[in-house]
Structure formats: C-alpha cells, structure tokens
Homo-oligomer: A and B are copies of this chain.
Amino acid sequence: MGIVVQKYGGSSVATAEHIMAVAERVKRGHEGGLGLVVVVSAMGKTTDRLLALAGEVSREPSPREIDQLLSTGERQSVALLAMALHDQGIPATSLTGPQAGMKITGRYGSGIISEIHPERMRGLLAERQVVIVAGFQGMNALGDVMTLGRGGSDTTAVALAAALHADRCEIYTDVEGIYTADPRIVPKARRIPEVSSAEMAEMAWRGAKVMHPRAVELGALYGVEIHVRSSFGEGPGTIIRKDKDMERLETRETIAGIVHDLDVSRVTLTGIKTGPGTMSRIFTPLAEAGVSVDVIVESAPKEGSSDVAFTVSRGEFAEARRIAGEVAEPLGGEVEGEEELGKVSVVGTGMLNRPGYAAKMFDSLGQAEIPIRMVSTSEIQVTCIIPATRVEEAVRRLHEDFELEERDV
C-alpha cells in the first residue's frame, strides 16, 4: 500500500464547512487505496486568538505555557476532522503530536524534531484507518508538549513522510501552487509545474509564503517528493523534486521565479575598526538576544575601518539597532538604520555559474531608477534590498525583463 502524507493549513480548515470539504478530499484518497496520514493546522485564526488572550493576561508569557496553550488549536482540528470522516463512513483516528510519536528537542516555541516513533501510526494504517496528526507539536524529554515554531505543520508533514517512507507529501494551501511571482502583484505570473528543492528553499527563504523553507530543506535532505496544491480545486499544483537540479542544468537556462518580502529593515555600523573577531563581536550579542539576521554585507576595509550592514525583520529592528549601538561604541563606529525596506530576489538553478543574471537584475532595477541598498548572492539567487515602496514595481519589472510570462518554466 502506498502511503501519502497530506497537510492542510489553517485556511483549509477554518470552518466546519471547510473541514467537511477536506474530509471529502481525504475520503477520495482513502477510497483510491492510499494509506493516508493527514497533518492539520489549527482552524483559521485560532492561533492568533489564543496569542491575543495570552497577551491580555501576561506581559511576557512563558514559552512553555505558550506551547501548552497553542498546541490545543491543532488538537481541536484533528478531532473535528476525524469526526467528519467518521460521518462519511471512513475509519479515522486523530493523534496529538505526542501520540503520533513526535519527539521534540530544543527550546519551547521553536522546537526541532529529534525522533519519530511511527509504530502507532503504522498500526493504524495497517487497519486501513486514516491517521490524522496534529501538526506543529510533539513531546519533549520532560513529557511536556513543545511546538516547532513557524512553519511547524509543514515540517511535521514532511518529517512524517520521511519517517513513514511515504510516496509523497502533499501540501494543501489556498493557492494553486508556486508562481513565478506573486499573482496579486504580477497578474501574468504563471504556476511553476516543477521546481527543484534548492530553488524552492531559496524562494521560501526570500519571501515566498506558500511553504516554509525549513520543511523544503527537510524534504530535500530525506528525498521526499512534495506536491503543493490548492485545497479548493483539482489543479496539478507544483511538484518539488529533490533530483531536479541536474536535469535542469542540462536542459534549461532560465530562472524559476521572482520572490519578494516587505518585512525588511537595515542596520549599518559605519567606520568601525576591523580586525580578527570584529564580526563575532557584532553578531554574537545579536544571536544571544534571539535576533535573526538575514543578509550581511561588509564593505572592503579602508584605513583599518569598514562598514558592516545587516538586515532584520521590522519587529526586531529596534532591538537590533540598540544592540548594534552598544557594540559600535567600543569599536569607534556609529550606527544608522533604515526601517522600511523590502527585498526582491531572482531565483533559479539556471543561473548557476552564469553571473549575467545578477547584471541583468541590476540593469533592470537601474532603468527603473530603483535604488539598491544591499546585494546578496548565492549560487542560485540574487537578492537586492530596496525601499519597501518600490518592491511591487521591482517585481513586475523583473518578471517582465526575465520574460517569465512567456517562457515555459
């Protein structure tokens, strides 16, 4: 029997009607002979509502208690989906993360999966039951529930697919798949039928919201084939393949898509004395404060001093700037910052060893007179940090200049 893991996000189970629609889809898969493990997120805005309650009773809620609180959202969804399946005559059992054998380690609120004990799931599958698993959670060594943090349900689904040696992991969402750019900004954007996991991970890190990069990378690591599909339609969606890279290099010379993110701020330390350990002196205190730094650029040193700039999300801007100020002083430098930035990235394995793509991107933005504040490149992507107000224009321009609406991507 082939095993398939399906994951439904919060918008797919937002109401009783949505849950019944998911049950219909699960039923079809079950009747088609698949062994199904279904991972479900909390209903709609449940997590936000619970966080708001936590904010009302406490100025700084304890991460353990936040996990205890938030984990209930997914538990409600799995029980309701099991009931809806029973109502359709389909045998199903809901499991919490701990019941599903998800062992979690790390910190409350941002746990990582250490082991999965799939025996109970296997037993239920052997009885031809649909197994419904609460996403985003598991049990730590103390026996307490711990959540995986953002993207946790995607990660749960991919990890279960790996542990169960599933044929594939299907991620159901409210869009038709992965697009060459955000269709709300670029109406001509097209669905990408297939993408490599490396490309998908870059797109996800650079701002594509459809799937969490952590889950994409886990899939790549364990060779899980991931299908991203709409939970409201029957479209083919996007297939994320692990083995796509090589094939793509041979056959195509193109890019997968343009992604963007409006949640970017920049902090710059100017005129700081450089030497061994300077970078560590700057970034260790930030890491200790839990600030996630994205792009880092250091200018070439001139007369023993240089400028170091980095980006953080807007929510962490004030904290990052404060810490940078404390660090800059003993290094003889100063701090400046810019809060309202965005980033736009061109991603694709087709640009491997082809530096022309970066030049083309700078040219495209330059012609539109969009100022580039910072640049970051890797083998398969080029990212430019630009003013937030110019991001949409940049995405449209790049989508057009790279001829994404015309090519067979």
A residues neighboring B (CB under 8 Å):
16, 19-20, 23, 50, 53-54, 56-62, 64-66, 68-69, 71-73, 75-76, 78-84, 86-87, 93-94, 96, 99, 143-145
Contacts and interface: CB of A to CB of B under 8 A. Distances in A.
Residue among A60, A65, A78, A80 having the largest count of chain B Cβ atoms under 10 Å: A65
Contacts of A75: 68-69, 71-72, 75
Contact of A16 (B57, B59, B86): B57
Residue among A62, A143, A144 having the largest count of chain B Cβ atoms under 10 Å: A62
Contacts of A50: 76
A68 B57 contact: no
Given A86-B65, A94-B68, A80 B57 contact: yes
Contact of A62 (B54, B56, B66, B82): B82
Given A53-B80, A61-B83, 13 more contacts: A16-B53, A57-B81, A57-B84, A57-B87, A58-B86, A60-B87, A61-B86, A64-B93, A69-B79, A69-B80, A71-B75, A72-B73, A96-B145
Residue among A57, A59, A87, A94 having the largest count of chain B Cβ atoms under 10 Å: A57
Identical chains in the assembly? 2
A26 to B, nearest CB: 13
B87 A65 contact: no
A60 B89 CA distance: 11
Contacts of A64: 93
A40 to B, nearest CB: 12
B65 A79 contact: yes
B59 A87 contact: yes
B57 A20 contact: yes
Contacts of A99: 143-144
A267 to B, nearest CB: 31
Contacts of A72: 72-73, 75-76
